[in-house]
Every structure is written in C-alpha cells, then in structure tokens.
C-alpha cells in the first residue's frame, strides 16, 4: 500500500474541556497519513486517480475550525471518520492532532493523539 502524508497543518480551534479553551481558542497541529493505492495516479498522471490534497486540507480545516469538542481524541476521530467516509479510495488513515498549549502549568511542546482507522471487509470504520 502506498502512503500520502500531509504534515504541519495548523488550524485555530476552540476544543477543550475548560470554558477558557472554548472561549479563547488556540492553534492545533494536524498530520494525516493515508494508505491508498497510488499506482494508477503514478502511471496516468491524473488527479482523478488519487486524492486531491487541497480537498483533504479543506475538509480537515472545516472540522478543526468547526464546532468545539472536549477532547483531541474526539477531534482526531472525527477527522479520521470523515476522511474514510468521503474518500473510498482510502484504505487506512492515521490522524495526529497536537495541542501545543494545554491549559495547565507544565512546560512541554504539547500533547499529540494518534488514531489509526480503516474500513473492514463490511465497510465499517474500525480501529487498526
């Protein structure tokens, strides 16, 4: 299986457990790793044979900048589910969401959640 990765995407959202997070918002980092067959796209040089990464970015942006969720786990899950529902060419997705400034008094580069999802033989989205 081939891999397409979108790295370093940054969006502003209002996700978090605390009211201040939902009011003030903050940046969130997102990385997507997609498993799909890219052989036809490589042979034909045809956008219709792959996934348009501008569309992937727009879909991810709409979710991160959309209605607030409490947990970045839920945010990553929403992104993974939407990608698999929207693009049947995708076999598996890994979504990494980083919250760089959690609202508590410790110093680190943030917290990242990584979720891996795929479609099973019945088309149901399941953890990998």
**Residues known to be catalytic:** 99
Three-state SS string over 45-89 comes to CCHHHCCCHHHHHHHHHHHHCCCCCCCHHHHHHHHHHHHHHHCCC
Q: Which residues are registered as beta bridge partners of 5? A: 33
Please answer whether residues 5 and 33 qualify as being in contact, where contact means their C-beta atoms are separated by less than 8 angstroms. yes
- Cα separation, 13 vs 97, whole angstroms: 12
**What count of other Cβ atoms lies within 10 Å of the Cβ of residue 15?**
21
Q: Which of 47, 13, 53 is nearest to 33 (CA)?
A: 53
């Amino acid at each position: 299986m081939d891999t397409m990765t979108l790295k370093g995407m940054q969006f502003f959202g209002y996700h978090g457990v605390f009211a201040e997070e939902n009011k003030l918002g903050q940046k969130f980092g997102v990385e997507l790793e997609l498993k799909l067959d890219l052989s036809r796209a490589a042979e034909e040089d045809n956008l219709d044979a792959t996934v348009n990464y501008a569309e992937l970015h727009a879909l991810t942006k709409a979710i991160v900048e959309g209605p607030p969720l409490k947990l970045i786990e839920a945010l990553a899950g929403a992104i993974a589910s939407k990608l698999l529902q929207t693009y049947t060419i995708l076999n598996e997705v890994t979504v990494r969401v980083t919250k760089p400034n959690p609202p508590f008094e410790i110093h680190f580069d943030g917290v990242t959640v990584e979720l891996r999802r795929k479609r099973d033989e019945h088309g149901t989205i399941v953890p990998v």
